[in-house]
Structure 1
């Protein structure tokens, strides 16, 4: 009974083939070090890419950041041709008159809205806290988002007296 064949010869006992399988070209230390270096470089590149993607996800893809910038643009457009301006005592509402229309911009629940002639126009959704402050012709809007990000912007308020 033949267990296996080596060079067309039948091998019945495994102890007889020890010297016949001797292979001098095996796995060397140099090959192992080369593979280790390649693995470390690839894993370092992978970790760097994951960290970069994490920061991009927080900055570029932030929905709150884009909503804030749109609010800043819209709010700046509201502050044109103002005849009067006031801030309520709790600093959660500003009232101003522009182009003979009275605007009440206030923090309501989780949004900043404009109340005009009985209607509501949402300016910024998803707000945890907000505050308005008026000092020397400048109004500062401070907002805290639900994620904990705090935003603040100061606007110049040109009051035109007629």
Structure 2
């Protein structure tokens, strides 16, 4: 039962912990499904980052004196399902599929940015500077990944996808 901000913080922390672990499992599939080498690399690099993000979340749990555990995040399950559906609908590697993978990847990044931004604000309000720093590091990585996906999309993928139409 959620009665306090501490309860809400912990519930949201469990949500993003679950989400990160699901994303970690899904990123190799997205990398394999990508046609663009640049996109494959972006997904592979983000997998490595995600491992570090999970470690930082575990540190937050430790600071709070709680066991690191996830709580089912239906939002991330839905976003991952959309990506899997896209891969089924566009089974052959192509720029069109890459454009869809980028859209899915960015939807996931935006969800993560919203969660980390919220958790960071709550930690700041409670003067938990050590937690703020851990969350801030991850938020910056998520923003950088979003920017990288935009760059890959605008540099070549969208142009190539439009030519295929």
The TM-score by the shorter chain falls in which range? under 0.3
Report which of the two structures shows the higher radius of gyration computed on alpha carbons: 1
Greater relative contact order, per chain length (Cα 8 Å cut-off, separation 6+): 2
**TM-score (norm. length: structure 2):** 0.25
Which structure shows the bigger proportion of residues in strand conformation?
Answer: 1
Which structure shows the bigger proportion of residues in helix conformation?
Answer: 2
**TM-score (norm. length: structure 1):** 0.25
